Amino acid sequence: MRCIAIDDEPRALEIIDSYINKIDFLDLVGKFRSPLDAMDFLLQNKIDLIFLDINMPDITGTEFVKVMNQKPMVIFTTAYSEYAIESYELDAIDYLLKPFEFVRFLKSVIKAKEIYGLKYGVKNKSTINLAHFDKNIQIKSGVETYQVKIDDIRYIEGLGNYINVYLSDKKFVTYISLKDFLEKLPKKQFIRIHKSYIVSITHIKSFENHQVKLDDKTIPIGKNYKEKFIDLIKKG
């Protein structure tokens, strides 16, 4: 499917571009900072799908959809949840609330591909294994965003509003709370054992009453987390 992305934030366009590069049935043929910039391109080119921000200067994404004569499929991408109802009234394929991760993006474009196939009678030649992508997590460190295998994460250390994510051969520093990051991880694989630490159960080599041992790291078990940790290990 031929697609374009419209967003006034350059970083948002970069993220969509990087996601599309991972998907073989999408072809990104244009990136625009404004719907007005994209208008001439759309008049002269056949486009199947638009990734469209909503809150932009001059004309909003929803206003732009209303004035288009030929309407490709639209997936709205926005940081504002209050536009959700209006977007679905415009028959949008999906509504992605920023910041969205790759798996969420993938589910959205698979939905668009299914609708495209029904409309044009195109058989689905691409097989997507969502379980594969669920084994990865995005971590933004500095200006870069990394795809990290969840199985490679050994433990996470909380530092106020930041965390250190430790792999066997590297460390990522990212702006997120320990609690919020834990919610992104598989519940059966990771557990918080201290106010400042989350550990991967698969990387624990041994444990005692008040600590767990990884290959080269000993991490304390907080008294408020001990019971839950023991219960999970027993079920393990």
Please say whether the beta carbons of 173 and 162 come within 8 A.
Answer: yes
Write down the pLDDT at residue 153: 95
Distance CA 30, CA 3 (A): 7
Task: Give residue-wise pLDDT tens across range 161-219.
Answer: 899 999 988 999 999 999 989 988 888 889 999 999 999 988 888 888 789 999 889 99
Residue 187 or residue 232, greater confidence = 187
Write down the pLDDT at residue 154: 95
Task: Give residue-wise pLDDT tens across range 84-93.
Answer: 777 778 888 9
Partners of 156 in the beta sheet? 165, 198
Please report which confidence band the pLDDT of residue 228 belongs to, taking 50, 70 and 90 as the band edges.
Answer: confident
- In the numeric block, which tokens belong to residue 130? 């969502």
In the chain, the percentage of residues whose pLDDT exceeds 70 is: 92
Which residue type occupies 112?
Answer: A
Please say whether the beta carbons of 196 and 219 come within 8 A.
Answer: no
Please name the residues in contact with 48: beta carbons below 8 A apart, sequence gap of 6 or more. Answer: 1, 2, 3, 72, 73, 116
Residue written as tokens 């994460």? 153
DSSP, residue by residue, 79-148: S-GGGHHHHHHTT-SEEEESS--HHHHHHHHHHHHHHHHHHHT--------HHHHTTEEEEEETTEEEEE
Please say whether the beta carbons of 8 and 53 come within 8 A.
Answer: yes
Task: Give residue-wise pLDDT tens across range 63-118.
Answer: 999 998 888 999 999 888 777 777 778 888 999 988 888 888 998 999 899 888 87
- In the numeric block, which tokens belong to residue 148? 């990290």
CA-only gyration radius of the chain, Å: 22
Task: Give residue-wise pLDDT tens across range 113-135.
Answer: 988 887 666 555 444 444 445 57
Query: For the chain, what is the mean pLDDT?
Result: 86
Q: Report the side by side order of strands in the sheet with 197-200.
A: 171-175, 162-167, 153-159, 197-200, 190-194
